[in-house]
Chain A
C-alpha cells in the first residue's frame, strides 16, 4: 500500500530542519527557499504547521495542466510532473490550494515534493516527530488510539 507523509501539527517545534535538509537533498545547497516543504509559523501564537504536497487523490494541479504533464504514479501514489511535457505555464502553481507546487528559478521548472523517491528526507530528520511516513490506509489509526487514550484515562480505564 502506498505511503504518505503524515503531519502531526502539535508536535512541530518550528525548527525548520525539514526545509534545510529538503533543499540540500534536492539542490545540493542549503536554502530553505528552495525546499519543497515549508514550516509556516505564527510566532505570536506559537503555532507551527509544516505544509507540503498532499499528493492529492484528485490533484487540482493535474486538472488544470494544459499538457497533461501531471498525474498520479500508480505504485507510489505520488503526484508527478513529467517535465518533458511541462511547458512551465504555472497554472498548477495557481491551482494548488496548499501552495505545494513552486517555481524553482535556478532550475527553471516547477517543483513539488516527490517523497524523495520513497525515503523522505524531511521525515528522516524530523526529531520532534511531526513528520512521519506511514501506510496511507492506516494513517488515521494512531490518532484514533491517542484520542481513545484520553477518553480511557478520563474514565480511569488505564494508566
Chain B
C-alpha cells in the first residue's frame, strides 16, 4: 500500500516511543511533509513555551513523495517553535536522509521532552531506538555521521546531526546531513541541542509501493526531460545557484557591506565562474538530475586542501560582498566551516556583516570584539567570527543570540542597522527595488525568508500573457499582473500564489528548483496532481493541491498569531524605506520602498488570504479551509 509509512511520537524525557498509522484523512487534508508537520505541531505544542525547553515539540518528516520517482524527491522537513524568532521554526534540507527515513518505514517523527544526557535516535526497518550519544557530543556534523556509520557497522546509514553550534544553543544553529545539506533557518539545531539530541540515524530496506509504477517511471522521464532542457536547468548543472549572483550584482540587487550598497564593481573574483578552479565535480541530491552543488578541494591559499560541497548563492553572499570580501577561497572555506560547525550560513553571514557595520561606525570597538579588527573585507576576521559564534566565545556569544538577543546586549544605535524580519536576518538580496520580493520576506511565516514566498521570476520581465498563464491557474485571477518588478500592483497575488506553490512542494518533499522558482518552465500544480495520482494514488486536482497548501499555510499563520505575532511584524526595517539604493541600472538605482504603497500592498495581501485588516485569519476562512476544529481544540 502506497501510504503505509508510520508516524512516531518520541518522548526523550521518558524514553517512550509510540508508533502509529497516519490516517488517510490526514493525508487528504495535509498530504505530508511541512503540511502535516504544522498540523502536528499546532496540535501538540502549547503556545508560550520556551523554545529551548523540554516543552518544545520538534516535528521531523519526509515529504509524501520522498524516495519515489518524482524528480529530486529528497527532502526532509524540520519544524518546532523557533529559538531565534519565538515564532514558527521551519526548515528544509535535501540530500539522502529523508529517503532513508521513508525506506525505514517512517514519514513523521514528533519529538518531545528532553533527554538527560546526549542521545541519538536509530531508526531501522520499522524500529526506533534511543541510543547513548555521549561519545558523539563535541564532534562536528561530518564526524558525527561517520562515527555513527562506524559504530553501527553500516556504511549505508544516513544521518542528520547537529554540530557544536547546536550543542551550544546558538539560536540559529542548523541541522546537517551529508556534507552540506542543511536545514539552516530558524535555529532547529538549537532545538535538537536543547533536547540533547545529537543525531538521528536511519537505514531502511522497506520499499514504497507505487500506485502505477510503470506510468510513474515514464512520467518521471518526461518531467526530467522538461527540467533538464531549460536554460536554468543547464546553468544549475554547471554552476549551481551561484549563477544568480551574475544576474543580481550586475543589476544592483545584492546587499553589500551589510546594507550600505546594492552593487559592487569588483565582482570578478567572486563570480561563479571561479568555481571551476577548485571543483572536482558536481553532486546531486537523491533522484536529482540537476546535480547543482559542487564538490571542491580548495586549490590554494590558507585553506588549501579543504574538501567541501556547495557553496550556494547564500554563502557566496555571506562570505563575499555582504562582509566586504572578494576572495573565492574565503567563500569556499566559510561555507565549509559553517556546515562543519552546524551554523546557518545566512544568519551567520548577515550577523557578522551587521557587526562589521557597527564596528565601522564605532558603535562597537575592539574592546567589544576582544581586539578583533572586525572590518569589512577582513577575511580572517570573518573566519574567526564563525568560530567564535559556534563556540559562543567573545563577541561571537553576543551574535549567537540572533538579532533580537544581540540587540538586547548592544547599544541602542545597533538595532536600526540590523537587517531582519521578525528577528531573523535577511538574505543578501536587496529588495528595495523589488516590492514583490520585499512583500515576500516581510510576510513569510518563518520570518525573513526567500524560499517560502519569493516570486523570483518577477525579475525576468516576463510578458504579461505568460504571467497570466502561470499565475492564473489553478485558481483564476483577474487582477493586474505586470512584467515590471518595480511595480506594486498585482504583486500581492504573485506572492500568494508562490506561497501556495512552495507549501505544496514542501508537502511533497521535492526540490524547489524543480518548480516555478527560478524558471517559469518548471513543474507546478498540474504536475503535482499527476505525481500524486501515479505515485501514492491520491486523486487530487491541481486545485485540491492548492487547497491543501492554503490550509497548511493558514495553520502556520495561526501558529504565529498564537505566539503573539501581529501585523506590525509583517514589515521591513526602516532602512528599506529611508535609505535609497546608491547604484545599479536605472530600474534599481535610487530606490526605496514606499511606505504607503507597501501598506496598500499588504492590505491587499491580507484580503487575498482571507484575513482581516490586522492579519488575523477570519472565521469564514477557517470554515472554508476546514480548520475551525483544529483551532477550536486549543
Contact = CB atoms under 8 A, between A and B. Distances in A.
Contacts of B290: 127
Interface stretch (A17-25, A83-91, A135-143, A151-159): A17-25
B224 A125 contact: yes
A121 to B, nearest CB: 7
A68 interface: no
B283 A24 contact: no
A31 B103 contact: yes
A14 B281 CA distance: 11
Nearest to A31: B207
B210 A24 contact: yes
B291 A30 contact: no
Contacts of B191: none
Contacts of A125: 220-221, 224
Contacts of B291: 13, 15, 127-128
B213 A46 contact: no
Contacts of B383: none
B514 to A, nearest CB: 12
B309 A30 contact: no
Contacts of B204: 33
Q: Most chain-B CB neighbours within 10 Å: which of A33, A34, A46?
A: A46
B288 interface: yes
A58 interface: no
How many of chain B's residues touch chain A, expressed as a range? Answer: 35 or more
Contacts of A10: 281
A16 B286 contact: yes
B146 interface: yes
Contacts of A27: 207
B519 to A, nearest CB: 16
- A interface residue count range (under 10 / 10 to 19 / 20 to 34 / 35 or more): 20 to 34
Which of A30, A31, A106 gathers the greatest number of chain B CB atoms within 10 Å? A30
B459 interface: no
A134 B210 CA distance: 31
Contacts of B146: 44
Interface in A82-106: 106
B390 interface: no
Nearest to B143: A44
Given A15-B289, A16-B286, A24 B178 contact: no
B280 interface: yes
B284 interface: yes
B228 interface: yes
A32 interface: yes
Nearest to B142: A44
A121 B217 contact: yes
Name which of B204, B217, B221 has the most chain A CB atoms within 10 A of its CB: B217
B221 A124 contact: yes
A117 interface: no
B500 interface: no
Contacts of B69: 20-21, 24, 30
Nearest to A128: B291
Given A30-B210, A124-B221, A128-B291, A16 B307 contact: no
A49 B289 CA distance: 16
Nearest to B308: A46
A14 B282 CA distance: 9
Contacts of A48: 283
A112 B306 CA distance: 39
25 contacts: A13-B281, A13-B284, A15-B287, A16-B286, A17-B286, A20-B287, A27-B207, A28-B213, A29-B210, A30-B67, A30-B207, A31-B205, A31-B207, A31-B208, A33-B207, A34-B205, A34-B207, A43-B179, A46-B283, A46-B309, A106-B207, A125-B224, A127-B224, A127-B290, A128-B291
Contacts of B288: 15, 17
B303 to A, nearest CB: 16
A120 to B, nearest CB: 13
B4 to A, nearest CB: 11
Interface in A2-56: 10, 13-17, 20-21, 23-25, 27-34, 43-46, 48
